[in-house]
Chain A
Amino acid sequence: MLEVLDLSKRYGDLVAIDRLTFAVEPGEVVGFLGANGAGKTTTLRILSCFMPASSGKAFVAGFDVFKQSMEVRRSIGYLPEAVPLYGELRVDEYLHFRAKIKGVARAGRKAEIARVLGRCKLEDRAKQLVGTLSRGFRQRVGLADALIGPPKILLLDEPTSGLDPTQRLEVRALLKELKQDHTVLLSTHILSEAEASCSRSIILHQGKLVPDSEIAKVRGQKVYEISFAGPADAVREALAGLEGVAAVRELETVREDIEETFVKSIARVAVVPKEASDPRPALLELFNAKRSEGWALLELRRRIPTLEEIFSATTAGTPGGGA
């Protein structure tokens, strides 16, 4: 449904994206992850035919992005990050205008607008001027616009940025519904969002794609999450020095500096082991040895890395953030 081959974009000496190759199959919702400036927006702008690439090929719904621009644009629904809309139009007028230029036949236009208004829960706002809408509703109008057609592929650039938590949940729920009818490439730097909405993720780092093999490798590594009581800094340092431990990442420090009870703090950390090693025996041994100094292991849990940890490992070093 979407195929990108060796795609690069350069601005003079600056390489915005460097030989990206990936594919999205029909019906997939794929997260397109990367820090700000990683090249996500540039890639989406190329795929939506707004700007050309410096080299490489891209196919959307079977059409060549660089040679069949109109066909590609008819196949996609694109939501740019800033959600630019014409503020002087009412919501239904705006969608009517967009339906017209997207080639929705006159006979079915009203029904199509009613459909997207319903899908994005905008019926009550249909007569409101776009310029007077809150950020959350503007985002919904942008999504409704992207859904007009309906297009085979949705390219969504940070669809929940700037939204409050409730609005974010609503958009996530909507994205889940969209899975049924569309192929979605969802760009975001909010990893929990990708984790909640996407079937898989593509990670972009400084314009380059993190290979799937590297993501799989990190995903295969286990993370040991422990809660402990004791002097947090000293414990973390000791944990990091254990054999078989690649990194220790602080997750939470609950209490600090309670001198009377000898407990310096209660903290939670993620211990990332070196490849194929199990640090649990060493961990237990450490806390047993330091029991007299007030170190106590309260909880030990093994889990798979979160997307955030995978992201941070593949873009910085190790799961857990390389702390």
Chain B
Amino acid sequence: MRNFMALTGREMRSIFLSPLAFGAAVMFLFVFGLVFTANFNRTHLVQIETLVQPIGYILPMLIAPLLTMRLLAEEKRQGTLEMLLTAPVGDIEVILSKFAGTLIFYGALLALTCVHFFAMFLFYKGPVDWGGFFAGYLGMLLIAGQFIAFGLFVSGLFENSVMAALVSFVAGLLVMLSDLMTSSNLLFKQGGTARDVFQFMLPYKHFLNLVHGFCDTGDLAYFVLTTGYFLFLGVKSLESRKWL
């Protein structure tokens, strides 16, 4: 645990001081604000599901590769991974700390976007659906966690961080397109089991449930398990140095 805290602290410091992360943060906040305002002007609805769609899903797909691309690839390229893994720290601690540091940074960005909601609530006379609000933010955080865990795993496969970013971005894009095509019945017939199973494996439906305020155990378990699986693959990618 002591190692985990020390490693997470260093990760956070590294990411909070990274110009790339700041560039990604500026892009994130600008696009989020823009889409939020556009959605509100279009619908005049005080509903998180309306206001953060589709940005709550697309933004982590764009930002996570930028935040995760250097996590392992750069450490491999610079050799700092050798320093890290010859100290008494475990591979799991390394992966979890990198994941935690990046998720905390993303969480901080999400927290900043709350300003839009709080400003809106100030002028809103009706009852605020705090449950829906928190579930929506939980959904945005969980889907980001999934993308970050995936990006971290991909970063462990490369020494070139640009390649890592590209692969995790293309993979995210393919997942989103698959989701869209499944929803539009382009991949499978409507009502078929194959369609249901495929859609269950993709994140959008689970994300949608959460931003609609349905905090279902199944959706939470989906995100926890898939994120955990990608983190497990991340640990394996770190262990792959021993397979040669």
With a CB–CB cut-off of 8 A, which chain B residues contact A97?
6, 9-10
With a CB–CB cut-off of 8 A, which chain A residues contact B86?
48-50, 73, 76, 78, 80
With a CB–CB cut-off of 8 A, which chain B residues contact A88?
13-14, 17-18
Q: Does residue A100 face the partner (Cβ distance < 8 Å to B)?
A: yes
Cβ B242 vs Cβ A51 within 8 A: yes
Q: Does residue A108 face the partner (Cβ distance < 8 Å to B)?
A: no
Cβ A101 vs Cβ B87 within 8 A: yes
In the complex, what's the smallest C-beta–C-beta distance from B4 to chain A, in angstroms?
10
With a CB–CB cut-off of 8 A, which chain B residues contact A89?
10, 13
Cβ A100 vs Cβ B2 within 8 A: yes
Cβ A101 vs Cβ B80 within 8 A: no
Query: In the complex, which of the residues B18, B80, B88 contacts A70, with contact meaning CB atoms closer than 8 Å?
Result: B88
In chain B, residues 14-58, which have Cβ atoms closer than 8 Å to a Cβ of chain A? 14, 17-18
Query: In the complex, which of the residues B14, B78, B80, B88 contacts A73, with contact meaning CB atoms closer than 8 Å?
Result: B88
In the complex, what's the smallest C-beta–C-beta distance from B8 to chain A, in angstroms?
11
Cβ B78 vs Cβ A84 within 8 A: yes
In the complex, what's the smallest C-beta–C-beta distance from A321 to chain B, in angstroms?
33
With a CB–CB cut-off of 8 A, which chain B residues contact A78?
83, 86
In chain B, residues 215-244, which have Cβ atoms closer than 8 Å to a Cβ of chain A? 241-242, 244
Residue of A nearest to B83 (CB): A84
Q: Does residue A52 face the partner (Cβ distance < 8 Å to B)?
A: yes
A145 to B9, CA, bound (A): 18
Query: In the complex, which of the residues A82, A84, A101 contacts B7, with contact meaning CB atoms closer than 8 Å?
Result: A101
Q: Does residue B190 face the partner (Cβ distance < 8 Å to A)?
A: no
In the complex, what's the smallest C-beta–C-beta distance from B101 to chain A, in angstroms?
13
In the complex, what's the smallest C-beta–C-beta distance from A133 to chain B, in angstroms?
15
Interface string of A81-120 (1 = CB under 8 A from B): 0101110110000000110111100000000000000000
> How many A residues face the partner with a CB closer than 8 A?
26
A50 to B83, CA, bound (A): 9
In the complex, what's the smallest C-beta–C-beta distance from A176 to chain B, in angstroms?
25
Q: Does residue B108 face the partner (Cβ distance < 8 Å to A)?
A: no
Q: Does residue A74 face the partner (Cβ distance < 8 Å to B)?
A: yes
In the complex, what's the smallest C-beta–C-beta distance from A102 to chain B, in angstroms?
6
In the complex, what's the smallest C-beta–C-beta distance from B64 to chain A, in angstroms?
21
Residue of A nearest to B89 (CB): A101
With a CB–CB cut-off of 8 A, which chain B residues contact A74?
88
Q: Does residue B126 face the partner (Cβ distance < 8 Å to A)?
A: no
A82 to B78, CA, bound (A): 8
A100 to B97, CA, bound (A): 14
Q: Does residue B85 face the partner (Cβ distance < 8 Å to A)?
A: yes
Q: Pick from B7, B18, B81, B83 the residue with the most CB of A within 10 Å.
A: B83
Cβ A52 vs Cβ B83 within 8 A: no
Q: Does residue A45 face the partner (Cβ distance < 8 Å to B)?
A: yes
Cβ B79 vs Cβ A84 within 8 A: yes
A97 to B79, CA, bound (A): 17
Cβ A101 vs Cβ B6 within 8 A: yes
Cβ B79 vs Cβ A73 within 8 A: no
Interface string of A119-148 (1 = CB under 8 A from B): 000000000000000000000000001000
Q: Does residue B3 face the partner (Cβ distance < 8 Å to A)?
A: yes
Cβ A101 vs Cβ B3 within 8 A: yes
Cβ B242 vs Cβ A103 within 8 A: no
Query: In the complex, which of the residues B10, B78, B89, B242 contacts A52, with contact meaning CB atoms closer than 8 Å?
Result: B242
With a CB–CB cut-off of 8 A, which chain B residues contact A103?
2, 88
Interface string of A37-80 (1 = CB under 8 A from B): 00000000100111110000000000000000010011010101
Cβ A98 vs Cβ B14 within 8 A: no
Q: Pick from B9, B10, B14, B81 the residue with the most CB of A within 10 Å.
A: B10
With a CB–CB cut-off of 8 A, which chain A residues contact B9?
97
With a CB–CB cut-off of 8 A, which chain A residues contact B82?
45, 50, 80, 84
Cβ B87 vs Cβ A73 within 8 A: yes
In the complex, what's the smallest C-beta–C-beta distance from A206 to chain B, in angstroms?
19
A11 to B88, CA, bound (A): 26
In the complex, what's the smallest C-beta–C-beta distance from B89 to chain A, in angstroms?
5
Query: In the complex, which of the residues A50, A98, A145 contacts B85, with contact meaning CB atoms closer than 8 Å?
Result: A50
Other A-B pairs, 11, CB within 8 Å; known A49-B85, A51-B244, A86-B80: A11-B244, A50-B241, A52-B242, A78-B83, A80-B79, A80-B83, A86-B10, A88-B17, A101-B3, A101-B7, A101-B89
Binding site for A on B (CB under 8 A): 2-3, 6-7, 9-10, 13-14, 17-18, 78-90, 241-242, 244
Going nearest first, the 4 A-B pairs with the smallest beta carbon separation are A84-B79, A100-B6, A48-B86, A73-B88
A-B contact pairs, 7 of them (CB 8 A): A49-B86, A73-B88, A78-B86, A82-B79, A84-B78, A86-B14, A101-B7
